Amino acid sequence: MEKAKEPKHPCFCEYLKINQVIYNLKTTDKIQALEELLDVLVKLKIIKNKKPVLTRIIDRERLVTTAIGHGIALPHARLDTGGHIAVVVGRSESGIDFDAVDGKKVHLIILIVWNPSIPGLFNHLFAGLAQFLIKPDFRRRLFEAESKKELYKLLCEIELTLLPSEDKIIHRAGLLWKLQKIEIQKKKSNKAKKKELQKQANLIRDELDDALLDRFDKLMERYGFAVAELEEGACQGCFINVATGMRSAIEGSDDIYICENCGKYLVAKKKAK
């Protein structure tokens, strides 16, 4: 009797072919590296013009770095490029300064351009990538890949059905914190400044989940803020201590949690720059 085939999860390589991988980037400059990556997409005719994509990526990068720590960055832009999604990956032997939260240089860049007509796709892709890239062993294998072929094979191991658990949203805390800052600033600004801030807010809103934003807006309306920092184990939204396990999970991470006491979004204390 024939065994039923197990359903296969969609693999990252549905969006990434081997010629969309650069084994060793020539430059160690952030902007030049982004250009080098985009040149690949232009050459393969996956995108037509480099300029608008580069501008959008840099604008987004300026708001909050897309370096997720541990030597990895996921620069991205939401832009209609004709196709659904465009992905290109670059590895850097010497490392690139990406202004990462952990201060580490970036050795792997996964650049993503996705079409605004399919908003859910990026969240899905980002969540799937984050779930894999968070594993130290997987990262080590990626960094140690000895050829383009080996690197590509490893990237093909990434499956995209894994969604973040409901009590934790991976690697989005910095983004949500920035959005709150912008929304608060917006209230105190004049018309021209408001417009500029709205543009920045929209860039962030574009890539956050609808359910998350919906809850964020409700909290903002009710309390004037929606995201609280965790300081010395206490939620700064309600000043109640969180459970020890939760405290150690939050501290030093860029993940979003929800305070069990006051229901606000809870993030690690941001380091003063």
Angle between helices 210-223 and 173-187 (to 10 degrees): 40
Q: Measured from the CB of residue 238, what is the shortest distance to Zn ion in angstroms?
A: 3
Reading phi first (left if > 0) and then psi (alpha if -120 to 50, else beta), residue 31 is in alpha
Select from 238, 247, 258, 269 the one that contacts Zn ion (CB under 5 A).
238
Query: Beta 227-231 vs 265-268: how paired, if at all?
Result: parallel
Q: Measured from the CB of residue 239, what is the shortest distance to Zn ion in angstroms?
A: 8
Give the Å distances, CA to CA, from 85 to 21, 77, 109: 15, 10, 16
Select from 226, 237, 255, 256 the one that contacts Zn ion (CB under 5 A).
237
Q: Measured from the CB of residue 169, what is the shortest distance to Zn ion in angstroms?
A: 16
What is the size of the binding site for Zn ion (CB under 5 A)? 6
E runs forming strands in 119-247: 227-231, 234-235
Q: Measured from the CB of residue 179, what is the shortest distance to Zn ion in angstroms?
A: 19
134 vs 258, which CB is nearer to Zn ion?
258
Number of Cβ atoms within 10 Å of the Cβ of 156: 14
13 counts as binding Zn ion under rule CB under 5 A: no
235 counts as binding Zn ion under rule CB under 5 A: yes
The single residue of 9, 70, 76, 124 carrying the catalytic annotation is 76
Options 22-30, 212-220, 247-255, 256-264: segment touching Zn ion (CB under 5 A): 256-264
257 counts as binding Zn ion under rule CB under 5 A: no
**Burial annotation 180-216 (CB, 10 A radius, 16+ → b, else e):** bbbbeebeeeeeeeeeebeebbebbbbbbbeebeebb
Query: With contact defined as beta carbons under 8 Å apart, do 49 and 57 qualify?
Result: no
Query: With contact defined as beta carbons under 8 Å apart, do 102 and 84 qualify?
Result: no
88 vs 228, which CB is nearer to Zn ion?
228
Query: With contact defined as beta carbons under 8 Å apart, do 68 and 253 qualify?
Result: no
205 vs 269, which CB is nearer to Zn ion?
269
Question: Is 9 an active-site residue?
Answer: no
134 vs 238, which CB is nearer to Zn ion?
238
55 vs 223, which CB is nearer to Zn ion?
223
Instruction: List the interface residues with Zn ion, window 165-224 (CB under 5 A).
Output: none
Q: Which of 195, 205, 199, 197 has the alpha carbon at shortest distance from 175?
A: 205
Select from 87, 259, 267, 268 the one that contacts Zn ion (CB under 5 A).
259
Binding site for Zn ion (CB under 5 A): 235, 237-238, 259, 261-262
What positions carry a catalytic annotation? Answer: 76
